[in-house]
C-alpha cells in the first residue's frame, strides 16, 4: 500500500467486494458513506474502505485507484468488484470503466480542468454505474449526466457534500433515500 492511504477491510462474501474511496476531507465516516457501507455489509459484501493520510490530491488518488482496482491491492479475478467513489474518489472512474468494474459515483468531479479524464470516462459509461450529484454542486454537470446511459440521481439544491444547506431534516431524508438507492443498485449484483 502507498503511504498516503490505509485500507480497512470488513470481511463478508469473498466473491462480492466493494472498494470505497472517500473524498478529500470527507472521511468514510460521513453519514452517506457510513450508511452505504453498513447497507452493503448487511447485504453480505466484503467492504474495503480507504482512509486517506492527510490530503492526497488528485495524482495520489489516481495512484491509489490504480493500486486498489488493478494493482497489487486489487481483488483477485473472478469476484464481483463494486467501486464507490465520493468527490476525490471519483478519479477512479477511468480505471473502473477501463476494467469493466461497476461503480457508484457520488459528487463526481466533472467540471474541473484537472479531471478531464474523469469527464471523458463518464461520457462512455453505460449500465452498471450510478452517478449521484447535487444540483447546486459546481462539479456536477446535469446536462452531461442526463445524456448518459448510466443511471443517475440528482439531489435538488444539493451541494458538493450532497446536502441542502441549513436543512438538517431534509439532509437526514436525503441520506436515507440515497442509501436506499445505493443498496438497490448493489443488490442487482447479488450472486445468491
pLDDT 10s digits, 74-105: 988 889 999 999 999 999 999 999 999 999 99
- Burial 140-158, CB ≥16 within 10 A → b, else e: bbeebbeeeebbbbbbeeb
Can you give the pLDDT at residue 7?
Answer: 94
User: 82 — phi, psi (to 5°)?
Assistant: -100, 140
For residues 165-180, average pLDDT: 97
Inside any domain, residue 127: yes
| CATH code for the domain of 13 | 3.40.50.1820
Can you give the pLDDT at residue 4?
Answer: 85
Q: Which residue has the cell 436506499?
A: 180
- At 73, the pLDDT band (50, 70, 90 cuts) reads confident
Q: What is the pLDDT of residues 97-148, one digit of tens each?
A: 999 999 999 999 999 999 999 999 999 998 899 999 999 999 999 999 999 9
CA–CA gap between residue 104 and residue 127 (Å, rounded): 11
Can you give the pLDDT at residue 28?
Answer: 80
Q: What is the pLDDT of residues 19-64, one digit of tens each?
A: 999 998 767 888 999 999 999 999 999 999 999 988 889 999 999 9
Structural domains counted in the chain:
1
Q: Classify burial at 130, counting beta carbons within 10 Å of its beta carbon; exposed 0-12, middle 13-18, buried 19 or more.
A: buried
Q: Which residue has the cell 452531461?
A: 144
Inside any domain, residue 192: no
Domain containing 127 equals: 5-187
Q: Indicate whether 2 pLDDT > 70.
A: no
Inside any domain, residue 179: yes
Amino acid at each position: 500500500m502507498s503511504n498516503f492511504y490505509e485500507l480497512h477491510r470488513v470481511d463478508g462474501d469473498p466473491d462480492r467486494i466493494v472498494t470505497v474511496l472517500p473524498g478529500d476531507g470527507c472521511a468514510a465516516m460521513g453519514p452517506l458513506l457510513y450508511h452505504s457501507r453498513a447497507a452493503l455489509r448487511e447485504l453480505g459484501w466484503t467492504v474495503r474502505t480507504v482512509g486517506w493520510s492527510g490530503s492526497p490530491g488528485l495524482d495520489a488518488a489516481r495512484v491509489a485507484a490504480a493500486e486498489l482496482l488493478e494493482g497489487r491491492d486489487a481483488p483477485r479475478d473472478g469476484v464481483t468488484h463494486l467501486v464507490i467513489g465520493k468527490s476525490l474518489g471519483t478519479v477512479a472512474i477511468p480505471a473502473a470503466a477501463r476494467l469493466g468494474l461497476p461503480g457508484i459515483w457520488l459528487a463526481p468531479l466533472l467540471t474541473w480542468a484537472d479531471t478531464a479524464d474523469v469527464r471523458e470516462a463518464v461520457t462512455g459509461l453505460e449500465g452498471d454505474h450510478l452517478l449521484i450529484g447535487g444540483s447546486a454542486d459546481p462539479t456536477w454537470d446535469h446536462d452531461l449526466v442526463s445524456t448518459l446511459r448510466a443511471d443517475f440521481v440528482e439531489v435538488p439544491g444539493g451541494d458538493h457534500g450532497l446536502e441542502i444547506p441549513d436543512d438538517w431534516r431534509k439532509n437526514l431524508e436525503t441520506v436515507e433515500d440515497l442509501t436506499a438507492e445505493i443498496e438497490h443498485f448493489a443488490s442487482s449484483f447479488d450472486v445468491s
